[in-house]
Amino acid sequence: MTMLQPFQQAEPKPLAISPVGQAQGAHRATGACPTGGADVTKTLVTAPDPEVAESMHRRRFTTAFKLRVLQEAERCDQPGQIGALLRREGLYSSHLSTWRRQRDQGILTALNPRKRGRKPRPDDPLAKRIAQLEQQNQRLHNQLRKAEIIIEAQKKISEILGIDQNLENIEALR
């Protein structure tokens, strides 16, 4: 699939015009005057561009524009003023009737821009407290793991050195 090139205007091609006003054909494009020798200056006319223009894009009207045009249309009280408004804005009368119906149904006020995406949750005081308790719980788990590692290391050292690890004897010495 190829991408469409942006519309580019081709250079116009000049046509030689005879002094009589008729375009010269390909068999006469020699530069000689068809009238038989009179030295007449030739006028060059550009041919229209054969390139077809892109199709028009569909117009989109903002809510503010629609409401402004409706207010102007309602202020028109003389015959022909609404027609002049429509011509000035490049609109049709069907636009006005559609926009009036949308306004009466409340659709135009509902078209105000809204933020896209997920809506933020309201602040929940319990969620903050839960997050604090989870952090505290994680911190205590880490401290417990470190303490267990230290106790295991002390047990291994005491076994290597042959030191008795009876906690009851230690309690009695105090």
Do 99 and 130 lie in a common domain?
no
pLDDT tens-digit map of 84-142: 999 999 999 999 999 999 888 887 776 566 677 888 778 888 888 999 999 999 999 99
**Which phi and psi (to 5°) does residue 45 adopt?**
-120, 140
pLDDT at 173 over 70: no
Do 133 and 97 lie in a common domain?
no
Question: What is the distance, to the nearest Å, from the Cα of residue 162 to the centroid of all Cα atoms in its chain?
Answer: 76
Radius of gyration of the chain measured on its C-alpha atoms: 45
DSSP percent split of the chain into helix, strand, coil, nearest 5: 50, 5, 45
Top pLDDT among 116 and 82 is at 82
44 DSSP β-pair partners: 16
Q: How many domains does the chain have?
A: 3
The answer to whether residue 51 sits within a structural domain is no
> What sign has the CA pseudo-torsion 145, 151, 156, 157?
positive
Is 33 in contact with 40 (CB distance < 8 Å)? Answer: yes
pLDDT at 26 over 70: no
Do 100 and 138 lie in a common domain?
no
The answer to whether residue 168 sits within a structural domain is yes
pLDDT at position 168, please?
61
pLDDT at 159 over 50: yes
Q: Which amino acid, residue 115? A: K
The answer to whether residue 9 sits within a structural domain is no
The answer to whether residue 121 sits within a structural domain is no
Contacts with 29 (C-beta within 8 Å, 6 or more apart), sequence order: 16
Do 67 and 105 lie in a common domain?
yes
Query: Residue by residue, what is the 3-state secondary structure of 31-83?
Result: CCCCCCCCCCCCCEEECCCCCCCCCCCCCCCCHHHHHHHHHHHHHCCCCCHHH
The answer to whether residue 39 sits within a structural domain is yes
The answer to whether residue 55 sits within a structural domain is no
- Which residue range is the domain that position 25 belongs to? 14-46
C-alpha–C-alpha distance, residues 86 and 97, integer Å: 12
Do 71 and 39 lie in a common domain?
no
Encoded tokens for 70: 């409706």
The answer to whether residue 8 sits within a structural domain is no
To the nearest whole number, what is the mean pLDDT of the chain? Answer: 76
Do 130 and 106 lie in a common domain?
no
Provide DSSP, 6-40: PP-PPPPPEEEB-TTSPBP-GGGTTS--TTSS---
The answer to whether residue 67 sits within a structural domain is yes
How much is the average pLDDT of 65-88? 92
